[in-house]
Amino acid sequence: MTEKVLPKENSDFSLPGRVDESNSAYFEIESKSKGRSLAIFGIAFILVAAVAFSYYFLNQSEIDSQILDNTTFKSLEEEMAKHYGVGQFGSEHSHAALAVFVNGDMLDFSHPQFQIQSKYIHFENDNPYLVHKHATDVPLEMLFASFGLKITSECMKLGYEESSSQYCTDKDNSMTFLVNGKHYSNINIYEIKHNDRILISFGDLELVSEELEYLEGLEIHDVPKINKLVPGRDISV
């Protein structure tokens, strides 16, 4: 029988069954690979964080302005409700058709910025003209204020636009307020009644008859017998 002789080396790295730990280059490559991955991840994280913070600080004024605007309106609505003695929410439910024309063009209130902006009086279901009132003693001014429309006997200011367009009467343009075909001097304080038809027109007086005819053709939906609650908004429709 041949006698097996162990290798004559100072280290035990070459012993039978021993994992080849003597390959130090392997461990160096693996360590460098892990280190490189961590470095790339760290750089990527820093870049993403930098972009996020840069976006916030560069747009901070705009973001803060939006937050303040929302907060301001909630406070304004509460103040207006107290000022006008608005009744309890749900104390009344009325529908009315409202058409606002500027130089012959009807303002489209079907966009989200106009929909359900006040719980007391609002547009809903993407309808561009049907006003819903959910309490007693709610004037139209509360509807207008909810999305930045300001109306006086002489001017109309579209505050919801970036340019805040303003239209004022002159020798060629007039402001007309009609409720069920009859002139009304201060439309802001008017409280709608069910089936009312309200026309607000700025521009050439000759266009009013055509605009009024259009208003008369709009459908006013009946008030539902059973109200349904809009989730998260505390609003019945």
Q: How far is CA 7 from CA 4, 11, 12, 18, in A?
A: 10, 10, 9, 13
In 10 A of CB 70, how many CB atoms?
Answer: 10
Structure tokens at 13: 């790295």
pLDDT at 156: 95
Q: What mean pLDDT do residues 50-61 have?
A: 48
* Averaged pLDDT for residues 144-152: 93
How many Cβ atoms are within 10 Å of 69's Cβ, its own excluded? 11
Tell me the pLDDT band of 209, cut-offs 50, 70 and 90: very high
**How remote is the C-alpha of 60 from its chain's centroid?**
18
For residue 139, give both structure tokens. 């004037």
* pLDDT classification of 236: cutoffs 50, 70, 90: very low
More confident residue, 91 or 69: 91
Quote the distance between the C-alpha of residue 189 and its chain's center.
26
* Cα–chain center distance at 140: 21
pTM passes above 0.75: no
* Residue written as token pair 């063009």: 105
Q: Higher pLDDT residue, 138 or 233?
A: 138
Q: Determine the pLDDT at residue 76.
A: 77
The secondary element (H helix, E strand) that includes residue 48 is helix 24-58
DSSP structure class, residue 190: -
Q: Which residue ranges form the domains of the chain, and what is each CATH number?
A: 88-223 (2.170.130.30)
pLDDT tens by residue, 81-98: 898 999 998 899 999 999
Query: Which amino acid makes up residue 143?
Result: L
**Would you state the pLDDT for residue 1?**
53
Q: Are 162 and 118 in contact (CB under 8 A)?
A: no
Q: Is the pLDDT of residue 208 over 80?
A: yes
Distance CA 125, CA 237 (A): 9
- Checking if the pLDDT of 212 tops 90, the result is yes
Query: Per the structure block, which two tokens stand in for 42?
Result: 């760290």
Show the tokens assigned to 167.
Answer: 């239209």
In whole angstroms, what is the distance from residue 134 CA to residue 121 CA?
6
**SS3 at position 51:** helix
Rounded to whole angstroms, the Cα distance separating 161 from 163 reads 5
Residue 135 has pLDDT above 50, yes or no: yes
Percent of the chain with pLDDT over 70: 62
Average pLDDT, the chain: 78
Instruction: Quote the pLDDT of residue 23.
Output: 52
Q: Is the pLDDT of residue 120 over 70?
A: yes
- Local confidence band at 182 (pLDDT 50, 70, 90 cut-offs): very high
Is 50's pLDDT higher than 70? no
The helix (run of H) or strand (run of E) holding residue 72 is helix 60-84
